[in-house]
Amino acid sequence: MQQFGKVAVLMGGWSAEREVSLKSGQAVLQALQSQGVDAQGVDASRQLHQQLDGFDRVFNILHGRGGEDGDVQGLLNILQLPYTGSGVLGSALAMDKLLTKQLWKGTGLPTPDYVILNSEQDCQHAIETLGLPLMIKPVLEGSSIGMSKVVSEQDMVPAWQKARQSDCIVIAEKFVSGSEYTAAILGDRVLPMIKLETPRDFYDYEAKYSADDTRYICPCGLDVEMERLLGSLVLRAFSAVHASGWGRVDFMIDEFAQPWLIEVNTVPGMTDHSLVPMAARQAGVDFETLVIQILEQTL
């Protein structure tokens, strides 16, 4: 693995997803080292430019703000260090759920309607315009942090106030009743899709990281032609926000078999229990091979 030189596995950072990133980073680091790559873990700080001195390339596994939103990508461009995943523009657009939805709507891709929430009056307007239930989302957080499902009017303002704590724009999104899926992308290939099932109100932080009753169904149960068509939609959604390299697109399918795009993740979780490795295994790609294939994109 001499062609990679010295590799920094960038993890941790200062976002709300720090702990998840550290777990992903350790899994990636161990996998790279097991394949003979000269890799070292780097817990990103505000002195990152100094921390990266002497490295030849970066496997970026920072989740959330600061690492997944274009900030670190811009620094790595300045330092002329090749890195995994999307560039500055793709990272910034995909991290912002509002901009992602605006781009998708502008290019004719299906995504649930929404209302921007700046006040209690906006909360009432969202209920009148979109109806209940609604998903309330801070647009710059991942891992469902700050999100709530609202089913009654009295819960609307508290959900908005909770989301505002993330210090970013908050939207109310029309709730899609149906089945939830995720599609991992590796290069220009869509990996086998995964159906997600949880007894909770929605696929929230606990369902993702701690609950033992979340079900991951892969193969997902869709017929071959349907999965092919959805794969084409997912690739269009991914490229529409200028994402590249690898990532994940989450979507719903409603009771009328209509797909609805929800969001793009440009640095998804990478523990051995995460969704991208799960999809890769279904495609015959083990975790060690997966991380090498992602790193090869930097050559």
In whole angstroms, what is the distance from residue 98 CA to residue 104 CA?
Answer: 10
Structure tokens at 123: 């909360």
Please confirm, yes or no, whether 164 is among the known catalytic residues: no
Which among 86, 245, 248, 274 is annotated as catalytic?
Answer: 248
Q: Which is the catalytic residue, given 13, 17, 68, 85?
A: 17
Tell me the two tokens of residue 60: 């970026």
CA dihedral 120, 122, 123, 125 (to 10 degrees): 130
Residue 77 among the catalytic residues: no
Active site residue 265: yes
To the query of whether residue 263 is one of the catalytic residues in this protein, the response is yes
Q: Give me the catalytic one of 43, 180, 201, 209.
A: 209
> What are 216's two structure tokens?
């991951």
- Among residues 15, 21, 24, 143, the one annotated as catalytic is 143
Q: For residues 10 and 58, what is the distance between their CA atoms, to the nearest angstrom?
A: 7
Take residue 108 and report the two structure tokens written for it.
Answer: 């004719």
CB distance 214 to 196 below 8 Å: yes
Catalytic, 236? Answer no
- Clarify whether 143 is annotated catalytic: yes
209: annotated active-site residue: yes
Question: Is 248 in the active site?
Answer: yes
User: How many CA atoms does the CB half-sphere of 271 hold within 13 Å?
Assistant: 11
* Burial of 53 (C-beta count, 10 Å sphere; 0-12/13-18/19+): exposed
Catalytic residue annotation: 17, 143, 209, 248, 250, 263, 265, 269
